[in-house]
Structure 1
Amino acid sequence: MVRLLAGLLVLLLVASIVGYFWINGRLAANDKVLADYEGRRDDTAGTNWLLVGSDSRKGLSRADRNRLATGRAAGQRTDTMMLLHIPDDGRPVLVSLPRDSYVPIHNKGRNKLNAAYAFGGAPLLARTVEEVTGLRIDHYMEVGFAGFVDIVDAVGGVNICVKQPLKDPKAGINLKKGCQDMDGGTALGYVRTRVTGGLPDLDRAQRQRQFFAAVVKKASSPGTLINPFRMVPLATSATDAVVVDGGTSAFNLLSLGLAMGGNPITTSVPVTPANVPGVGSVLQWQRESALRMFNALAEGKPVPKDVLNSGG
């Protein structure tokens, strides 16, 4: 029996090592995303991830676009942006960065945050987030529509509690109130819809945080990690779907999953709606509250509760 157990442990160890190098070899990396620039801040406390969901239709057939109601827009824009702060000690913090945030962009003046990606891709977006938050970004991960759907389906769907009925033909959903299992296509519509609330982008950001926490928690659960019929399709889908910075490895992705499974605090940057001539409707950051939030993260301190509450 002892020999059998020892043999199994060796087999698992070898499989883990082989799997690590296999996943690393498949990861698509962009070495320019977190490149240094003049005046870049030195390292800040903890580990910071910039998580980006783009509206890229790459990999979707015409039938897929019709089924998922993604439309036919060309090009690629940032549909979701979140900052995950993993402290050296304590609970992680997941902060939504609304795409309509009105911020300064290097050499481009002030504009909506998602315009940074349109102007200069992932490198300019990452630099913009660093400069407006005062945090140094350690890792970057981006996923498009097709990858989003594949990852959700690879983990067997996710259970999401819907606060109110949601019907949106543009997003391809007709959901009842209550907790329910969602496949990749339904989950995509759920996080994309803008039909609720007086501030649709803030409501959507809350749903995006809810979904992201649920899918990463399930992906990093023992039921997924030790089940080869789940783990292999997930690893294949994830490595096909995501783009990371050049310094991110499979080990870092596992750390990300473990952090999201640790009951993170979820919030959004405190904002105030405004209208800017030539730009349109934007969200102005509440400067004092935002500074208190990001300064606390940079210094490795808990974020003040009143700032979290104002963030939603």
Structure 2
Amino acid sequence: MNQRTHGRYADFQEPYEPSGAARPPNEYGPYESGPYESGPPPRRRGTIKRILISVLVVLLVVAVGTYFWADSKLRKEVDLGKVIDRPAEGEGTNYLIVGSDSRKGMSAAQRKSLHTGGSAEAGQRTDSMMILHIGSGGPTLISLPRDSNVTIPQFRGSETGRLRPAMGANKLNAAYAFDGPQLLVRTVEYNTGLHIDHYAEIGFTGFANIVEAMGGVEMNLDKGFTDKWSGADFKAGKQTLNGAQALAFVRTRHAFATSDLQRTKNQQKFLSALANQAASPGTVLNPFALYPVMSAGLDTLVVDKDMNPYLLARMFLAMKDVNSGDGRSMNMPVSGSVGGNLQWDRPKVKQLVNELKSDEPVTVTSGG
């Protein structure tokens, strides 16, 4: 090739490579000029990403809004800070869950249909009392029979703020009747030595309304029973209880030989079923089911001033787990009776409280 030709076509010729030398491949392979892109084009991927972010933001806003809505509806009326001479806190968290016989806001027709008797202004007592311990070893639910023979100690009046003298031996449910939730907490702590962290109470109407809002609660009864006092009339087998039937189920005691102890077992069984159904995907993931249930419960639930929706949800989830194999339910250990009232087995109670305080597995049996 002469110089003229070389100069004329030099810009179109490939660089000279020695014979036999391999052409170095680029980073995409020997025959590729660039990366091969799969999937949707960049613009479409950006649209999908924006949609996902928008959905997450909406869900976050709804969740935060629901939290503050629920928190605003809680009746934070119980000030545990005013309870005197409290035992030291232990491991885990202890809730005192109370079902009162309050008829406040009930019409005469409602009192008749629910078989509650009394009047809307009748004095309140506690129909059911339970300690729920949540710790590393799983939840433990302990029923406190309302006819338990306990000491009502010195306390500070919830309205007057003045110290009141001890009342001595009494039924446990009398403490609430004398001076409400704060004296009940004081009495439970004094007789057990266990620190109560949170308090939750619901009356007759609120209890029935929650069950109705859920469309009833399914139960499987081993035996049928009737009780003219509570209005109970149940057959054995699987059935769905409405609000009035549920209230009758947890209140019945005259139908049983061990009236108060069997009633507490029924209360535990029902509350576990209620919590299990309330926490099911069919309720939690369905806003048309979730919000009516939440509203029905929050409107009538009385709690301590430090309670919030997270702690309340934790309480319900623990109740759900009680009978699922992850927890345990029991009655407060009893050893007999005094004047018709149940006497706690003090050595067992002491052992039980020590195990709860240390967040150890509960080995104590109920007895009685």
Q: Which of the five TM-score ranges fits, normalised by the shorter chain?
A: over 0.9
- Indicate if the aligned counterparts of 2:275 and 2:316 stay in contact, CA closer than 8 A: yes
Aligned-partner Cα distance in 2 for 1:176–1:62:
28
Give the aligned CA root-mean-square deviation in angstroms.
1.5
1:118 is aligned to 2:177:
yes
Aligned-partner Cα distance in 2 for 1:30–1:3:
44
Letter in 1 for 2:65: V
Query: Which of 204, 213, 221 pairs up with 1:154?
Result: 213
Q: Name the SS of the counterpart of 1:35 in structure 2.
A: helix
Deviation at 1:206, TM superposition (A): 0.2
Structure 2: stretches of 5+ with no match in the other structure: 1-47, 154-165
1:50 is aligned to 2:102:
no
Identity of aligned residues (%): 45
Aligned counterparts, 1:30-49, within 5 A? 30-32=77-79, 34-49=80-95
Q: CA 1:222 to 1:196, structure 2 compared with 1: closer, same or farther past 3 Å?
A: same
Letter in 2 for 1:82: M
1:83 is aligned to 2:142:
no
Q: Which has the bigger relative contact order, CA under 8 A and spacing at least 6?
A: 1
1:67 is aligned to 2:113:
yes
Residue 298 of structure 1 is matched in structure 2 by 357
Aligned-partner Cα distance in 1 for 2:338–2:332:
18
Q: Name the SS of the counterpart of 1:308 in structure 2.
A: coil
Deviation at 1:36, TM superposition (A): 4.4
Deviation at 1:67, TM superposition (A): 1.0
Q: Which TM-score applies when normalising by structure 1? A: 0.93
Aligned length: 303
Residue 57 of structure 2 is matched in structure 1 by 10
Residue 267 of structure 1 is matched in structure 2 by 330
Q: Name the SS of the counterpart of 2:141 in structure 1.
A: strand
Q: CA 1:31 to 1:167, structure 2 compared with 1: closer, same or farther past 3 Å?
A: closer
Residue 192 of structure 1 is matched in structure 2 by 251
Aligned-partner Cα distance in 1 for 2:202–2:137:
27
Aligned-partner Cα distance in 2 for 1:252–1:37:
21
Aligned-partner Cα distance in 1 for 2:93–2:270:
22
Asked which structure has the greater CA Rg, the reply is 2
Q: CA 1:217 to 1:252, structure 2 compared with 1: closer, same or farther past 3 Å?
A: same
Query: Which of 241, 265, 271 pairs up with 1:206?
Result: 265
Letter in 1 for 2:81: A
The C-alpha deviation readout for 1:241-290, integer Å capped at 9, x for no partner, is 110000001111111122122233110011133232xxxx1000011111
Deviation at 1:31, TM superposition (A): 3.9
Structure 1: stretches of 5+ with no match in the other structure: none
